[in-house]
Amino acid sequence: MKFDDSFREHYCLYGPTSGQVIHSLNELKQSRDSMNLMDLNIRPESFIGYTFSNISRVSFYSVIPNEFAESVIYEKENGLSLFNKYRLVP
């Protein structure tokens, strides 16, 4: 999934400093203006208060109006960068 440049710019900007005291919005503006656009294509170390770690399984559960609920997981293959998708009975 790819977010638009504006969204990615903000999560790259906020991630490392989320929750910290800021004295002026100019601090964020200066940080944003000094960002290298190529940095937007690299997964940040953190995302607005969360730190990424080695992820091997991602699970989604959603309820669709007038339909069945949907349960989908993605599991990483050992030693590879590939994820397999599995649809589960809710």
Which tokens belong to 75?
């599991």
Residues of the chain with pLDDT under 50: 1
Q: Total structural domains in the chain?
A: 2
Range of the domain at 45: 5-51
- The answer to whether 36 and 53 have CB atoms below 8 angstroms apart is no
Give Cα separations from 25 to 29, 32, 88 (angstroms). 6, 11, 45
pLDDT given at position 86: 92
CB 36 within 8 A of CB 12: no
Q: Are 20 and 40 part of one and the same domain? A: yes
Q: What is the pLDDT of residue 41?
A: 66
pLDDT of residue 85: 92
Statement to judge: residues 45 and 76 lie in one domain: no
pLDDT above 70 covers a percentage of the chain that reads 69
Q: For the chain, first and last CA: distance in Å?
A: 24
10 and 35 assigned to the same domain: yes
